[in-house]
Chains A and B, each alone.
Chain A
Amino acid sequence: MEHNDREYTDMLNNELKDIEPGAGLHSKVRDGIAANAVHMRRRNTALGAVAIAIVLTMGLSAVTPVFGRNGTLPQVITAMAAERQAKKMSKTLGTAPVQQTGTALQTSVTTVQAVSDSALSETDGILALVIAKRSGKSVTEVLKLRTDGLGWGIIMAQLNVSGRDIGKAMSQVKAAAKTKGQGENPKPAVSNTDGTKIVVNGEITGVSTTVITVDGKSFVIGAATQLKYQGKAITTTEIAAKLLIGKLYATVQGTKQADTTLLANLIIVQDTPEEAKQEQVDEQTNPSNEQAAVNNDQQVRGKVTIVSATVLHVDGFANDIILNADTKVEQVGAGSTNIAAIKVGQTVQVHVRLSGTTYLAQQVHIEDKYVKTEKTDDEQQTDPSVKTWQGTIAAIFPDKSITLVTEANPLLVIRITATSVLQDASHKALLFATLTVGQKVTIMGRTLTDNSVEVVKLTTTTSTSVNPGKGNGKH
């Protein structure tokens, strides 16, 4: 039996001829549409109300402290950002982040102590120090606001500290931490503006409930004195018990009392002595030195008031800072540079080490960005007084002179000065001590009256020479 398309059509139409929509279907469709219209109207009304509420809340929260003691919405956002930065900094610094922050910000011992003594978390402690520093207010005032229950955002607004200020301070702390090196034991803060602070470390030679003797100096243990051992509190009885077993050492932060006794504020007990033993400075013989009796290493930050090839003065730091050939100098935008790059008026951060009564600059970080105003190498080449020699180091002398074998001169005396730049082939700074006999070097310098050469720049081209003596002298 054959079927064609017409037959299928007829077949289906016949099958479906009684299939008609019921009479009530139109009413159902209409009812559905009406119910949906009501539903949509209600939904739109609710959504509109929610949208209006959100807009009003946002608008209101921007100008009024709808978040109570946390302030307005922008203040809450600022606080969250600041706390995030502080938390990150706390992680970066590792151990004793509050103390390290205090050191980096050149905050006084008492200020850091006040923060440590408070019930604030490390994150809050860092923020308190930073805000106090940036606002110029005392940390006590900041702590008071915080303990009153105010959020950091509202505190920052009241003290006129912006989020950008916090960021800058955090960068400063980070830079200081980087300079100092990770994992180093935190040193007590160094500022000692009234000359009454003293920090001593050394062996504990005696301890009672009221007095501890460290490195021959006796400190009174008061009610507020904190005693710590491996980050935890320790009692004088426990110290005494440990002393019976073996030697103990301690770093003591103390305050000189009116009756000349020393009151210990913080005693950090250690099993081993500090690597760099505290230099004791007699305050009587050096009463004017406001940095006397402080820790060996410290950070000094401020504007350069005086600079020469050997001495640096930084605003806010009363002592001479000695510069020498071992002083590393780096500048933002230039990387490693030399002492000549330090100019009056620049803001610098100096890592200073107290040696005896002399403050030696270990590292100078120039925060002002390098501007290319000085002569470039090419320009120096055109300076008739600056010439270039290539040769091999034949000998090195302790007075920072070397002899060089060049093609034209079998024994050219080269003198390294404080302003000389020593670098390797990849322009990384070198220390004089790393130079070795046999190295091939390129010297840019000036000929002195005794025919020796004062080095402007020394660049090593190889670590050692296979065939010394094949330098090319060119004038």
Chain B
Amino acid sequence: MDDELRTVVTRVHAGEEAAFDDLYHLTVRQLYRTLYTYLMTREDVEDVVQEAYLRLYQVRRKLDDTRSVPVYLRTIAINCARRKLRRAHPVTAPVEEEDDVSGTELVKGVVREALQQLSPADRLVMGLFYGDQTSIQDICRMTGEKEGTVKSRLSRARERLREVIDHGT
């Protein structure tokens, strides 16, 4: 994946138009999930994804460090998402009622409910750390927060999640 990403970024940097589509396909899934943990609605996530890729496209010729591209992309996206949250509304995504209430789906519903009870910033840190396996240092770079703040967010999110799940199960 890293080698493939490096090659694609090199092509993007060289000005190959189709390479940007490849870059999109390589990075969009992870970005989409990260943003979903933050915003919790598909509509908002799609808006932010569009804006983030547009901004990345505008600076595509300056991309030269392949290792930083995913971090850079998520940083742009997080900033766009923050603006969207400030402009629009606090996240109140409705919990989709599931017809299938098997054991796995029941846990899923509880986890989502627990996530929704977290603040967007705590949720984002949770998603980046556990969902994307992003390092604390990279989370600090993306969010602009200090290491202590990120760690306390993680701790708070874990505790809340555990509490909800323990009571739920």
Contacts and interface: CB of A to CB of B under 8 A. Distances in A.
Interface of A: 1, 3, 5, 8-9, 11-16, 19-22, 25-26, 28-30, 32-33, 36
Given A3-B158, A28-B50, A33-B57, A19 B36 contact: yes
Contact of B161 (A8, A13, A19, A21): A8
B4 interface: no
Contacts of B57: 33, 36
A11 B46 contact: no
B150 interface: no
Interface in B38-97: 42, 46, 49-51, 53-54, 57-58
A8 to B, nearest CB: 5
Contacts of A28: 46, 50
Nearest 7 A/B pairs, CB to CB: A21-B32, A8-B130, A12-B131, A29-B53, A9-B130, A15-B111, A12-B130
A25 B54 CA distance: 13
23 contacts: A1-B162, A3-B158, A3-B165, A5-B130, A8-B130, A8-B158, A9-B130, A9-B131, A11-B107, A11-B130, A14-B107, A19-B32, A20-B29, A22-B42, A25-B32, A26-B21, A26-B25, A28-B46, A28-B50, A29-B49, A29-B54, A33-B53, A33-B54
Interface string B122-138: 00001100110100000
Nearest to A35: B54
Contact of B126 (A12, A13, A32): A12
A318 to B, nearest CB: 82
Contacts of B53: 29, 32-33
Contacts of A14: 104, 107-108, 111
A25 B49 contact: yes
Contacts, number: 81
B135 to A, nearest CB: 13
A36 B161 CA distance: 42
A3 B162 CA distance: 7
Interface string B5-29: 0000000000000001100110011
Given A9-B133, A14-B107, A14-B111, A20 B24 contact: no
A12 B37 contact: yes
Contacts of B108: 14-15
B33 interface: yes
A11 B54 contact: no
Nearest to B49: A25
A26 B23 CA distance: 11
Interface of B: 20-21, 24-25, 28-29, 32-33, 36-37, 42, 46, 49-51, 53-54, 57-58, 104, 107-108, 111-112, 115, 126-127, 130-131, 133, 158, 161-162, 165-166, 169
A16 B131 contact: yes
Contacts of B162: 1, 3
B63 to A, nearest CB: 15
Contact of A29 (B36, B50, B133): B50
Nearest to A31: B50
A299 to B, nearest CB: 70
Nearest to A26: B24
B8 to A, nearest CB: 15
A3 B29 CA distance: 27
B37 A16 contact: yes
A21 B131 CA distance: 16
Contacts of B20: 33
A21 B29 contact: yes
Nearest to A33: B57
A46 B37 CA distance: 42
B131 A36 contact: no
A25 B44 CA distance: 12
B32 A15 contact: no
Nearest to A14: B108
A232 B91 CA distance: 76
